Every structure is written in structure tokens, then in C-alpha cells.
Structure 1
Amino acid sequence: MRYASVTNRLAGLGSDKWAVHMRAREMKHAGEDVIELTIGEPDIPTPNDMIDVAERSMRAGRTGYSNGRGEPAVLAALSAKYTARTGRPIDAEHIMCFPGTQTALSLVMLGIAEEGDEIITGDPLYATYDGVVRATGAMRVSVPLRPEKGFRMQAADLEKVITPRTKVLLLNTPHNPTGAVLSAREIAEIGEVCRKHNLWIVSDEVYEQLIFDGTFASPLDQPELADRTVAVSSISKSHAAPGFRSGWCVGPKDFTRRLLPLSESMLFGGQPFIADMTAYALGQPSAAASTMRESYLRRARSIANRLDGVAGIDCKIPQAGMFILADIRATGLSGDEFAMRLLEEELVAVMPGESFGENLAGYLRLSLSVADDKIDAACAGIVRLASRLQKRKSA
């Protein structure tokens, strides 16, 4: 039988990146006491008041069909949020709701890129971006995010990779996996390059409320960039509600008008009771985000104190997010090799940097959404393996 070319473009894409995680799950299923620091999922429950709203909404009959753009209450809440943030009127016609940021990213990209186009991302990058880009038929082009610049994209580096085929810059701030946060000045410089070359900016802002050091800035908030920017986000990280799958995009009215039929052909609306819960959550400061910021920063400091400068490891506190990086290149192993040995020898599962791009080769990504005692045990295992490797190198 014949298949669409998209199935070939995505065949096997990304599966190898999660090999350590999948192996860890197999070992846990077999009874091994594995410590998982592989994925970023809030380790606190979705707040009870949010669940109560969803339950009341369901019992009130809010379980029917919705519409392609979003329920009035959540559109109003998002309008209030982004109007206050940008200082410009952002109404419902600027907004579309989706089941999570991943869906928002996928549909947004399908609306602006196609075969023959190029989409620029940073490298390192979030592991699913390859699939998001290739699904459109476009090719992904990398801008190196350099450690000496704190893994923050530089406008000069961006300009070097632009070609006549470049259509979109996929920006991620705060950044996964590095935790880097772009300043308003850096975004303005990047945005000027995008204006010069008439590029769209798609801004993944899911970690907006998990910043430890610095202030959140977005191209959407800069008036001169607003007509080319589409921001995507969700309540998954900010409100510890990943399983509810509630996300959105905010962009120019003409963009959402054109995207609406594409969205409706795939998703004719979300669940009204989840929209009601989201509207409630957006109407007040997130206590969950405050709790997570405090615990993630504490754990990041603990990991950096235990690993930085020990057995050749370099480990610095990130600016934001749910992860911390450890540079283990001095051990002589790749991130893939170290991570697999760490799992087999110490029963600690972490993500190899290579899963997030060539520029993170020789690094590890450790999740901060794990209990403190497990963090301590995981760090001890990393130090033991790195020390053994260091002794063998010097022998």
C-alpha cells in the first residue's frame, strides 16, 4: 500500500533520543530501584481548587462540543493575561486554544511552513522540535547556542544561517534543556534580524513562570515584532496540570483566521470543563508555579554544589525551568555512553545531551522534578561513576 510522505519524514524520528528513559522504564518494571531524572513533569499534584472547578463544570453539564477557537471564558482570561502583559489590546481574535503546547506548535507550524522552506531553531533544542519541523515538509536549520554565551541565542549567529528559503525562527525562552532566559534586549536584536529577512517568530513560552534569575521577555510583547510573532504556551508547567492538555497560541488576527480551518479539520474544539478550569487558573497567580520555582531552584543549587568541580564535572545553576545540565566531557565519554553506564551501574537515569542536539554532546540533562532524597542519591551515583572513570584515565 502507498502512504503519505509525512510518514516517511517522521519515521523513527526522535525515538532513539529516549533510549535511556525507555530502558530505565523497562528496568523499573522488572523490579529494579531506578532513580528517574529523565523527563520534566511537575512533582506536585494539580491544585485541588482547579480540580474542583473542573468537577463542578462536568457535573453542570459542560461536557458537550466546543468550537474551533476556544470557549468564551478561557478566551476572555487569555485576553486579559496578554493584554496586561503586552500593554496592547489582545482580544479573542488573536487567540486559539489547543490541547497542550505540543499541538499548538504543530498546527502553528503547519500554518506557516511547507516543503522547500527552512525553519531555524537553536541547538540545543527540545527533543520534539525535529518532528514538529519535519511534519511540515520544511528542513530544520540550527543556530549554535554557545555555553560561553549562557546558551542564549545571539543575533549575529542567527543571521549567519539565514538563506532565501528561511521562513520561521522557532524560539524557546525560557529554554529547554538549558534553562537560558533571553533578555528583552537580546530578543529585540534577534527580532531585528527577523524583520530584516521577513521571518515569522514562533515563541515557545511554556516555562514563563519558572524563572529563577532574570525577567521574562517575549517578542510578542515588543510592538515592532507583534505582527510576525506567534506565542504558544499552556498550563502544563505553570499550574502543574500536564495531563489536562490545555494550551493556546496568540498571534496576529489574520494568522489565527487563516489557521482556524486547519485546526477545525483536526480538532473541533477542546473540552469545555477543562476550558473552565483553565479560565479559573489564569485568573489568579499560580501557587503551583511559586512552589515549583522554590523547590526547583533549591534542587538545582543542591546538584550544582554536589557535582560542580567534582571528578571533572562542570555544573552551573540554570536561569529557569525544570532541568540542570552537567558537562561530563572530562570523563572521556559521550553523554550517551555516560548516561547508559550510569543507568546500568548506578541505577540512575538521566538524559544524554546528544538527545537535544549536537551542541550538547558530552552533557547530561537532569530533571529537577524529583524528590530531594532521590536527587541526593542520584548525585552520589554520578560522582561515583565519574570518579571511577577519572581514576582509569589517570592510571
Structure 2
Amino acid sequence: MSKQLASRVEALSPSATLAITAKAKEMKAAGKDVIGLGAGEPDYNTPDNILEAAWQSMKDGKTKYTPSGGLPELKDAVIRKLERDQQLTYSRQEIMIGIGAKHVLYTLFQTILDPGDEVIIPAPYWVSYPEQVKVAGGIPVIVEAAASAEYKVTAPQIEAAVTPKTKAVILNSPGNPTGMVYTRQELQEIADVCRKHDLWIVSDEIYEKLIYGPAEHVSIAQLNGDAKGRTFIINGVSKSHSMTGWRIGFIAGDSVVVKAMTNLASHSTSNPVTTSQYAAIEAYNGPQDAVETMRKDFESRLEKIYPQLEAIPGFRTVKPQGAFYLLPDVSEALEHTGYTDVDSFAEALLEEANVAVIPGSGFGSATTIRLSYATSMDLLEEAIKRIRAFVEDNWKD
């Protein structure tokens, strides 16, 4: 029997985030004092009211199959959330619940892409965008956003990348790994390009609730009817309500596509986890105090840690406006410490300084590293001290 793997998986790159996080956990299990600034999940537990709702649903016997596209009650909770937060109106037929926003994105690309279709992806990008496009037979078209432009692509950049094969544009605001937020005007200009060339817009808004300073979250679907009609909003409870492990995300968009996605999900996952769906209903319908408490804490950490990071020799960081990541450009540090790339730099940082960061190469950003500040201030400050000592000890003029 042939041991050949299918070409669709042979072409995939492993997740840099999960790989380095796994190595850090191995070192920690072996007794090493490792500080992990890798994986992107809040360090808060899921709020008590959500835990209670999940437990009550199980005691009430709500542990069976649900509709493939999610519980009607959860769809209604999502609809109310979108009305409340974005002033957008959707029907149940335009909503699908999936096993986390990642699964929703995967199912969307499987549904709208044919072999050879192109998807424009701004870089730096979340690691799974290009891989999910590739496994659906599509072609990722990377458009690089410069640090000088706050790591945001412009409408002219997107238009220059459009070809007759372009099917969609991905937007992620607030962004992972950059933490940057697109303004209403920037989104309007991008929406105009997408209208001109009749493109789908995939708007990943999973960090929507984590916004800092004067920045404002605007969904591109809010701009006008045309933008709403061609936009798929992707969101979920993972980051907003510290529910990463519960695996509940949703899509809001064109009903024909959503119906096809639901049909596909019925053959791949049957339904999202029932208990998690009841937890998510409470997350959206219940009090939102914990969401704001967590946001304020992340903002406080950012304000404290950002100047400390900037003080490290050879580090240059665009201050983020959302999410919980910092993306310093370490070009100068690489030059003066003798490392040829960010991968070897991050590996040495883990092995010699016991600090786990994610090399930017996995995000399409070859001169950066990503640090998550979704951990305690004590650990953050200790990690920054270790990184600074590592750089200074290895610095060569």
C-alpha cells in the first residue's frame, strides 16, 4: 500500500504558534523556569455565570445533538449581539455556528474557493489564513503592510494585487499579530475596491472587544449595504469571553453561502459542542462586565510593558491598538547579536533565556517576533528583563 500523503496536506506548513508553545511546555515539564509569551489566549478563566449556564444545561439533559449550523437560541443571541454592537441586522439563515472561528474560516474557504482562486491576504497575517486557503485549492496572494503604515495595507495595494482570479480579501481588525485597527476611512476605501472588482470580504473580528486608547472597532459590513452584502463577519467567544477551549465561533453573511457551509459542516462535524453552545448563549445574553474588566487589564499591561520593550537594544515596536500582542521588529538586534533569522533568534531565546516568543516568519514577517501580553505583569516584566539581558549579553558592535 502506498504511504503517499495527499498533496493538500503535504503543502501545509505547521503552526509556528503551536509548535513553539509545545516546546516551551516540554521544557517547563522538565523543570525549566520557562515564561511563555506564545499562545494567544486570555489568562482569565471563563466568567462564572457562563460556567454556571453550561453546568445547568448539562443537568437539564441538554447533551444531545443540535442542528448542524448551531442552536436557534444561539443564532438569536448572535443576531442580538450584532444588532447591539454593530447596528447590523441578520436573519437566522445568515448565521452559522462553528467549532471556533478557525473552523468557521476553514469551512468558508472550502465553500467559496475553487482550485486556482486567489485570496488577498495582508501581511503580517494570522498563521492559518494562507494554509486554509491552500488546503481549499486556493492561492494566497500576500500583500505586505509596512511598519511605517502601522502594518495596515492600503486600498491601492489591494487593487494592485487584484487579478481576474481574485475571489476574496481577508481583513483582520484588530489584527493578529499586529494589534492594529483599521479606521472607518481605510475600510471605506478597501470596500470601494472590493465593490469595483466584485470581491468577497472575509472580516475576522475575533479581537473586536479588545480595543485600547482612542481606537474604535468598525466592521466593514457597517459601511453600507453593498459592503454588508459581500462581507462575511467571523467572530466568536474565544477572546472576548476567555473561552478559547470551548470552541464556539460564528459567521454572519450571505445566506446561500451560509447554507452551503452548514451542509458541509453536517458531513464533517455534525454540530458544535452542545454544552459549549449553551455557554455561548449566556456569554452573549448575560452581563458583559467581565469582558470590560479583562479589556482594561490588558490595556494596563500594554501601557506598562510597551516602554520596557522599546528600551531593549535593537527593538522597534509599533504600539498596538487592540488584541494582546506586541510585534517588535528585531532587525537591528539580529544584526548585532549574530543571528541570521528570527527563527534561530527565538529558538536561542527559549533555550538560553527561557522565554518563549513566536518568530514572525510564521506570520509573513521575517524581521519580527510576536509576544503575547495575556499573562501576569510579574511574568511579563521578568520576561522583558530576560530578553533584554539576552540581547545585551550577545550584543556585538
Aligned-partner Cα distance in 2 for 1:16–1:276: 30
Moved more, 281-290 or 23-32: 281-290
Aligned-partner Cα distance in 2 for 1:164–1:123: 21
Moved more, 339-348 or 172-181: 339-348
Q: After the TM superposition, which residues 37-186 of structure 1 pair with which residues of structure 2 at under 5 Å, given as runs?
A: 37-186=37-186
What is the CA-CA distance between 1:121 and the residue it aligns to? Answer: 0.6
Whether the 8 Å contact between 1:120 and 1:142 is mirrored in structure 2 is yes
2:312 corresponds to = 310
SS in 1 for 2:327: strand
Aligned-partner Cα distance in 2 for 1:205–1:93: 20
1:328 corresponds to = 330
Whether the 8 Å contact between 1:10 and 1:131 is mirrored in structure 2 is no
> Structure 2 counterpart of 1:218, which letter?
S
Cα 1:129–1:100 change in 2 (3 A) is: same
Moved more, 339-348 or 46-55: 339-348
2:381 corresponds to = 376
SS in 2 for 1:15: coil
Q: Deviations over 1:108-133 (max 9, x none)?
A: 11110121111111111111112211
Aligned-partner Cα distance in 2 for 1:382–1:26: 20
TM-score, normalised to structure 1's length? 0.94
Aligned-partner Cα distance in 1 for 2:350–2:85: 43
1:238 corresponds to = 240
1:340 aligns with 2:324: no
What is the CA-CA distance between 1:356 and the residue it aligns to? Answer: 0.7
> Structure 2 counterpart of 1:366, which letter?
L
Cα 1:118–1:290 change in 2 (3 A) is: same
Gaps of 5+ in 1: none
Aligned-partner Cα distance in 2 for 1:36–1:63: 35
> Structure 2 counterpart of 1:374, which letter?
L
> Structure 1 counterpart of 2:221, which letter?
L
Moved more, 26-35 or 199-208: 26-35
Gaps of 5+ in 2: none
SS in 2 for 1:384: helix
Alignment partner for residue 286 of structure 1, among 285, 288, 307? Answer: 288
What is the CA-CA distance between 1:183 and the residue it aligns to? Answer: 1.1
Whether the 8 Å contact between 2:121 and 2:130 is mirrored in structure 1 is no
1:268 corresponds to = 270
TM-score, normalised to structure 2's length? 0.93
Whether the 8 Å contact between 1:327 and 1:364 is mirrored in structure 2 is yes
2:205 corresponds to = 205
Q: Deviations over 1:17-45 (max 9, x none)?
A: 24533332222122111111011111010
What is the CA-CA distance between 1:239 and the residue it aligns to? Answer: 0.4
Aligned-partner Cα distance in 1 for 2:351–2:188: 46
SS in 2 for 1:326: coil
Aligned-partner Cα distance in 1 for 2:3–2:221: 38
> Structure 2 counterpart of 1:17, which letter?
A
Aligned-partner Cα distance in 1 for 2:84–2:293: 24
What is the CA-CA distance between 1:293 and the residue it aligns to? Answer: 1.6
1:13 aligns with 2:12: yes
Aligned-partner Cα distance in 1 for 2:177–2:286: 28
What is the CA-CA distance between 1:310 and the residue it aligns to? Answer: 3.2
Alignment partner for residue 227 of structure 2, among 225, 229, 232? Answer: 225
Whether the 8 Å contact between 2:314 and 2:330 is mirrored in structure 1 is yes
Cα 1:312–1:194 change in 2 (3 A) is: same
Cα 1:87–1:303 change in 2 (3 A) is: closer
Aligned-partner Cα distance in 2 for 1:87–1:290: 20
1:248 corresponds to = 250
SS in 2 for 1:164: coil
Cα 1:141–1:12 change in 2 (3 A) is: closer
Aligned-pair RMSD on alpha carbons?
1.8
What is the CA-CA distance between 1:378 and the residue it aligns to? Answer: 0.7
1:29 corresponds to = 29
Alignment partner for residue 386 of structure 1, among 381, 391, 394? Answer: 391
Aligned-partner Cα distance in 2 for 1:116–1:12: 15
What is the CA-CA distance between 1:353 and the residue it aligns to? Answer: 1.2
SS in 1 for 2:371: strand
SS in 2 for 1:143: strand
SS in 1 for 2:357: strand
Cα 1:60–1:251 change in 2 (3 A) is: same
1:353 aligns with 2:355: no
> Structure 1 counterpart of 2:379, which letter?
K
Aligned-partner Cα distance in 1 for 2:39–2:261: 31
What is the CA-CA distance between 1:255 and the residue it aligns to? Answer: 2.0
Whether the 8 Å contact between 1:304 and 1:316 is mirrored in structure 2 is no
Cα 1:100–1:57 change in 2 (3 A) is: same
What is the CA-CA distance between 1:60 and the residue it aligns to? Answer: 0.4
Aligned-partner Cα distance in 2 for 1:98–1:190: 27
Whether the 8 Å contact between 2:100 and 2:249 is mirrored in structure 1 is yes
In the comparison of the two structures, how many residue pairs are matched? 389
